[in-house]
Amino acid sequence: MSLYDKVFHIDDFHGHGGTFTNGCFDIIHKGHIKLFEFCHSVSRSNVNNYCCPVVVGVNTDSSIKELKGNDRPIMDQDNRVAILGAIRWIDYIVLFDTKSVLPVIEKIKPQILVKGGNYSKKSCAEADRIVGEEYIESYGGKVLTGPMLEGISSTKIIDKIRKV
């Protein structure tokens, strides 16, 4: 499977179900890798008696600028997608332009939604709930938080680079 067989804009993606996670993934680090590995492991744990694909939603450059400011992203979406495409635990990558991931979740309708362990501190949290949590649970899907590696984040890496 080539990279182009697994990357879609949300408007062109027709898959449903699966395990879904999302983010900017501006500076990819081992915390992200652990998250994708976790997604893969839960997707293979007989959800409704079948293995489901891991779908990773990725903010486009324009949505990252809207969320994080004009000095982001550090890495453009072509670079981010190329790196994500090489990660064996990811089956599909879906680019989206919206500030909120909810429309993406509603279209894909995943069986499992996974967010990193730091979700309540991110701008995507609404009153300490993961965006899409109520929707996922309304049809019997599961919402999980993945592992959190303390002391590592894209923001910390970017701040360290900027100090050099």
Instruction: Show me where the domains of the chain are located.
Output: 3-163
**What pLDDT score does 142 carry?**
93
What pLDDT is recorded for position 3? Answer: 63
CA atoms within 13 A on the CB side of 71: 4
**The pLDDT value given to residue 164:** 86
pTM of the predicted model over 0.85: yes
Sheet order of strands, 92-96 included: 7-9, 92-96, 54-59, 19-23, 112-115, 142-145
pLDDT value of position 46: 54
Name residue, tokens 């991110």: 122
Torsion of CA 100, 34, 83, 22, to 10 degrees: -10
Cα–Cα distance between 131 and 123 in angstroms, integer?
10
For residues 39 and 20, give the distance between their C-alpha atoms in angstroms, rounded to a whole number.
Answer: 8
- Domain 3-163 adopts which CATH fold? Rossmann fold (3.40.50)
pLDDT, residue 147, reads 84
Ranges in the chain, pLDDT < 50: 120-127
Beta bridge partners of 110: none
pLDDT digits (tens, 9 = 90+) for 21-43: 999 999 999 999 999 999 999 99
Which H or E element spans position 94? Answer: strand 92-96
- Pull the structure tokens for residue 156: 């910390």
Do the Cβ atoms of 23 and 32 come closer than 8 Å?
yes
